[in-house]
Structure 1
Amino acid sequence: MSAGRWLQLVLVNLGRELRSNLLSVFGVAAGIGSLVFFVALGLGVGEVVKTRLFPADARFVEVIPPRVSVGIFGGAKLDDAAVERLRALPDVEAGYRKMTLRIPAISRYDGSFFGQRLRMGLEILAEGVDGGLIEADLTPGVRFDDPEGDEPIPALVSTRLLEIYNKSFARMRGLPSLSPPMLRGFEFPVELGRSYVTAQAAAGTPLRAQARLAGISERAMLQGITIPLETARRLNARYGEDARGYSALVLVARTPDRVPAVAQAVRDLGFEIDDSERVLAERVGAAVAITTAALALLSLLICGLSAVNISLSAGAAVRTRTREIGVLRAVGATAGDVRRLFLGEAAFIGLAGGVAGGGLAWAVAIGVDRAARSWLPDFPFKPDSFFAFPGWLLAGAVAAGVAAALLGAFVPAHRASKLDPARAIGG
C-alpha cells in the first residue's frame, strides 16, 4: 500500500468515527496536559530555588578553617601560608579571601531616607573580601579599597537582602521600595566597637565612620555588609582582634566538573568546605523534585487510562470493521498494511492529544501566573512565572501522546492483521 493511499484511508477512518476519536483525543490531552503542567511547575520553582533563593556559582568552593585542630598541618588557621597552598592546588583558577569583622558595630540612622524621615538603629555585621570576588557588581568608577582618612568605607549589600527588604520589611514599615540604581552612593553612619547586644564593647575607643554603598551583589554577605578585606584587617588589628586569620577562602575551579577534585584536595590539607547553603538548596530542590515526580506519576496514570481507552476503542473498531479488513486483504493489502493502518489512526489521535495537552498546559500556566500576580501578595523571591517550558518538554509531550496511543492500539492492530481474509469477508 502506497503512503498516499495509507494516509487517505487513515483520515477517512478517523472521520467515520469522529466522536469516539475525539473522546480518545480528550483522554490523551488530559493526561499529557497534566503531566506537562506539573513538570513545568517543578522546573519553574526549581529554577527560582537555584537562581534567586540560593544563587551559587557552580565553580566556587568555599574553604573554612577546621572546627577541630587535627592533621599534619594542625588545622590551626587559614592564614596567608595556607592560602598560598590552597591557591596552588591543581585545577584552581583563583582564590578570594574573606575575613569577618571581629568587632561589634552599629548604625544609628536619623535623617531623610529616599523621601521619608527615618530613625533606626541596628547591629551591623560585616565581612571583608578581596575585590576580585565582587568587582563585576561594583558601580562603574567606584574603587573597592580601604579608604584613606575620613573617606567613607565602600560597602556592598546582598541582592537577596534587598529583595527581603522590598517585599517584607519596607511594606510592613511603610518605607519606600528601593532599586539598585537608587542605592548607588547611599551613605549611612557606622559606629565601630559598639554594640546594642553585647554587654561589653570592643577594647578601645569606638570609631565613628561613614559607609557608602558601592553596589549590589549576589556574592555579598546576606545578613550584613561586605567591605574591602584590608578595611576588615585594619579594624580588627585596631581593636586587638585576629587580623591574620581568614574566615574563608573562595576557590574558583577551572571548570564545574573539577569542583569535587578541588574539594577533596582541600580536605586532604586538613580544611573544611562550607557547603551549607548548597546543601540547603539541594534539599529544597529535592523536595520540589519529589513533589513534581509524585504529581507526574499521577499524570502518567491518566495517560495509561487513556491508552486503555484507545485499546478498547480500537478493539471495538476491529470487530466493527472485520468485513472491511477482509476486503482490504482480498484486494492485495498485506497483514503489515492492516497493522500500519490501525497504528496510523492511533498515532494521529496521540499526536492531536499531545499537541492539545501541551497547549492546554501552557494556557493554564499563563492563567495561573496572571492569577498569582493579581491575588498573591508580592512576597520575597516571588517569580514573574512559576513555570518553565523548555523545548524538550513540549516535544516530549507530543512524543508521549503518540507513544501512549500506539501502546494502546498495538494489540488490536496486531489482532486485525491476523484476521483470515476469507472468514472476515464471510462474517
Structure 2
Amino acid sequence: MKIGDLTELATQNLREAILRNSLTTLGIAVGVASLVAMLSLGVGLQQLINRRLERNGLFDTVLVRPRTSFNATGQIRRNRDFGADRTSDRTDDRNQSDARRDPPDSDLISKPLDQDSRHQLAQLPHVLEVYPEFRFTGDFRFGSAGHLTQVTSLPTSASTVDGLEGMQGHFFSAPDSHEVILQADVAADLADSQHLRPADMLGKDLVLRYAGREPLPAPSANSRARDRASPDDAAFGFSIISSRISLRVVGIVDAETIASGANAFGRSGAYVPLVVAEELGVVQGNDMGEVVRESALGANGQHYTNLTVRVERPADVPAVEESVRQMGYAPFSLLDLTRNLRRLFAILDLLLGIFGSLALAVASLGIINTLVMAILERRREIGILKALGASDKDVRQLFFAEAGVMGLVGGLAGVVLGWGIGRLIQLGTNYYLRQQQIPAENIWTVPVWLVALAIVFSLVVSLAAGLYPATRAARLNPVEALRYE
C-alpha cells in the first residue's frame, strides 16, 4: 500500500471517532508539553549560569598561585644551610633522605610570583592581560565621619562585569585616576554624617587612610657577615606606616559581589583602580606569610599571592594552564569546576526529562486503548480489506499510520503548549523578581534541538504504543471478521 493511501485512510479513520481520538491526541500533547516545559527550564537555568560566568570573565581567566606543596623540602633546607660550620651530620642525613625522595631535577620548589613572573606570564600565547588583586582594610574619612571597610582593586577590564550593572555614576575615568567606587551602604553611612543623600556622594572627595609598607634598609656588610643566617639575596622585610590618599567618588553600586576574573569573589565596601592600589604599597592580610616565603626562597622586591591571567577565549584556557605548570606555578580555572557543574546539570536534565516523560507514558496507554477499541469497531472493515487482497503487512501499516498521525499531531501541539507554559513561568518569575526589586532574568529557553527531540520522541512512543493493536489487527481471520456483527 502506498504511503499516500495509508495517510488518507488513517486520517479518514481518525475523523470518524473524532472525540475519542482528539482526547487521545490531547493526552499526547500534555505529555509532550510537560517534557518540553521541564527540559526548557533546565536548559534555561544552565544558560543563565553560563552567561553570568562568561560576563564576569570567569571562563576566560586562570588563577596562578605559587606551588605551596614543599615536596622538595630537602632542597629548600639546603638553601638555608648558609655556613659549613652550622652543618651537622644529622642535617646532612636529613637532606640526603629528602634528596632520595625527590627527583634530582625536581621543579616542585615553590617559586614566588614577582614582577618577572608577571612579565613572563604576559608573554604566553593567547594571554590578554595579567594582573594581581589587592585587598586591604581602609578608613574612609568624609568631614568628621569615617567608615572602616575592605577595599579591593579592579582592573580596567572589570568595567563590564555583572556587579556594576545599574551603577550610579561611571567607571574609573583612567587606569591611574585617584577615584573610588563605593558600595551603597558605605555611601549611605558617609552621606548620613553630613545630612546628604547617598547619591550626593558622587563627585565628593574622600580621604582614605590605610596601612602602608616601607621597605627596611639593607643591613651593612659587617652586620651581614656577623649574621650568617641571612643570605645575600634574602628580603629585608618592611615596616608598617600610616598612609593616606585623596580619592574622588565616581560610582555607587549595590551588589553583593563584583566578580572580575577567577579570584575576584566576595564583597568589598569600596573599589579602586588596580594601578592606584599598586602604587599605594598597602599591607595585606597575607603579607607576613609572604615575608616568610621570601626569606625561605630568596625572593626580593614586589611579590604577589596570586595573579589572574585573562586569555582571549575559554578554549585557550587548557593550553595556558599547561604553560603555567611548566613555569613552576599552580594554575586554577573555573573550567575545572564547571566540568562538575555540567555533570550536575546533565543529571538535572535527565531527572526533569524522566518526570516529564511520565505523562507521555500515560498518554501511550490511551493510544493503545483507542486503537484496540478501533479494532473491535472495525472488524468487518478489516475483513473486507483482506478479502480485497490487503495483506497482514498492509493492515499493520494502516494502524501504525493512525498511531503515527496521533503522535505527530500531539507532538506538534505539545511543543506549542509547552512553549506557552514556559512563557507563563518566565512572566511569573520576572513579575516576582520585579516585586522584590531584582532585575528580570531569562530562566527559560526552548532550543531547536529540544523541539525536534520532543516531536521525534512523541512519534516513537506513539508507534511503540501502536505495535500491539497493529499486530492484533493484522492477525484477524478475514472470514471471522466478515461474520462479526
In 1, the alpha carbon distance for the partners of 2:395 and 2:205 equals 82
Task: Label 1:342 to 1:361 Cα distance change in 2 as closer, same or farther (>3 A).
Answer: same
Tell me which amino acid in the other structure corresponds to 1:248: N
Which sits farther off after the overlay, 204-213 or 349-358?
A: 204-213
Q: Distance in 2 between matches of 1:2 and 1:47?
A: 45
Deviations 1:108-141 (A, max 9, x none): 4579xxxxxxx87241322254x4x447789999
1:231 is the counterpart of 2:257: no
Structure 1 residue 101: deviation in Å? 3.0
- Aligned partner of 2:468: which letter? V
CA contact (8 A) 2:128 2:312 kept: no
2:183 corresponds to 1:146: no
Match of 1:410 in 2: 467
The match for 2:134 among 101, 107, 110 is: 101
1:211 shift after superposition: 4.0
- Residue in structure 1 matched with residue 6 of structure 2 by the alignment: 6
CA 1:176–1:325 in 2, change beyond 3 Å: closer, same or farther?
Answer: farther
2:152 alignment partner in structure 1: 126
Alignment CA distance shift 1:28-1:110 (3 Å): farther
In structure 2, what residue type is equivalent to 1:7? T
Distance 1:254 1:50, change over 3 A: closer
Q: Counterparts of 1:293 and 1:344 in 2: how far apart (Å)?
A: 30
C-alpha distance in structure 1 between counterparts of 2:399 and 2:198, whole Å: 62
Q: Deviations over 1:135-171 (max 9, x none)?
A: 7789999753324xxxx23x568xxx89x99xxxxxx
Q: Which amino acid aligns with 1:82?
A: S
SS at match of 2:412: helix
2:29/2:414 contact within 8 Å kept: yes
Secondary structure (helix, strand or coil) at the match of 1:389 reads coil
| Alpha-carbon spacing, 1:346–1:177, altered in 2? closer, same or farther (3 Å) | farther
1:43 maps to what in 2?
43
Residue aligning to 1:210? 247
Do the aligned partners of 1:28 and 1:350 also contact (CA within 8 Å) in 2? yes
> 1:219 maps to which residue?
260
Alpha-carbon contact 1:42-1:289 (below 8 Å) kept: no
Change (3 A) 1:250 1:100: closer
> How far, CA to CA, are the matches of 2:341 and 2:142 in structure 1?
37
Name the SS of the counterpart of 1:36 in structure 2: helix
Q: What residue identity is the alignment partner of 2:397?
A: R
Superposed CA offset, 1:267-312 (max 9, x none): 343322344x666666666555544432321221222222233123
* Correspondent of 2:302 among 235, 244, 269: 244
Amino acid at match of 1:260: P
How do 1:249-268 residues align onto structure 2 when only pairs under 5 Å count?
249-253=307-311, 256-268=314-326
Assess, with a 3 A threshold, how the Cα gap between structure 1 residues 188 and 293 changes in structure 2: closer, same or farther: farther
Q: CA, structure 1 residues 416+67, in 2 after alignment: closer, same or farther (shift >3 Å)?
A: same
Cα deviation, 1:317-375, whole Å, max 9, x if unaligned, reads: 22332221221233243433322221221122112221222222222222233333444
1:29 aligns with 2:87: no
Q: CA 1:334 to 1:360, structure 2 compared with 1: closer, same or farther past 3 Å? A: same
Decide which of 196, 199, 206 is 1:189's aligned counterpart.
Answer: 206
Distance 1:264 1:379, change over 3 A: farther
- Aligned partners of 1:325, 1:100: CA distance in 2, in Å? 80
1:58 aligns with 2:59: yes
Q: Distance in 2 between matches of 1:426 and 1:340?
A: 24
1:21-46 deviations in Å (ceiling 9; x for gaps): 12211221221111111111112222
Letter in 2 for 1:192: R
Q: Secondary structure at the match of 1:125?
A: strand
SS in 2 for 1:31: helix
Query: Does the aligned pair in 1 maintain the 2:434–2:440 contact within 8 Å?
Result: no
| Cα 1:58/1:281, change in 2 over 3 Å | closer
State whether residues 50 and 56 of structure 1, in contact with CA within 8 Å, keep that contact through their aligned partners in structure 2.
no
Tell me the secondary structure at the aligned position of residue 64 of structure 2: strand
Deviations, residues 166-204 of structure 1 (Å, cap 9, x unaligned): xxxxxxxxx9999xxx99x75562513159xxxxxx822
AA in 2 matched with 1:409:
G
**Using the alignment, how far apart are the partners of 2:346 and 2:160 within structure 1?**
33
* Residues 42, 352 of structure 2: 8 Å contact kept: no
The answer on whether the counterparts of 2:44 and 2:444 sit within 8 Å (CA) in structure 1 is: yes
Distance 1:385 1:141 in 2: 26
Q: Is the 8 A contact 2:65 2:329 kept in 1?
A: yes
- Paired residues of 2:25 and 2:407 also in contact (CA < 8 A): yes
Query: How well do the aligned residues superpose, as a CA RMSD in angstroms?
Result: 4.1
**If you compute each CA radius of gyration, which structure gives the higher value, 1 or 2?**
2
Asked whether 1:370 is paired with 2:430, we answer no
Is the contact between residue 154 and residue 260 of structure 2 (CA under 8 Å) also seen in structure 1?
Answer: no
Give the 3 Å change call, closer, same or farther, for CA 233–394 of structure 1 in structure 2: same
Alignment partner, residue 444 of structure 2: 387
CA distance, structure 2, for counterparts of residue 296 and residue 34 of structure 1:
9
Which whole-Å CA distance do the structure 2 matches of 1:391 and 1:46 have between them? 16
Is residue 294 of structure 1 aligned with residue 351 of structure 2? yes
Aligned length: 386
> 2:407 — aligned with what?
350
Report 1:315-354 matches (<5 A): 315-354=372-411
Is contact 1:49–1:281 with CA below 8 Å preserved after alignment? Answer: no
d(CA) in 2 for partners of 1:96 and 1:53? Answer: 18
Structure 1 CA distance for aligned equivalents of residues 50 and 411 of structure 2: 30
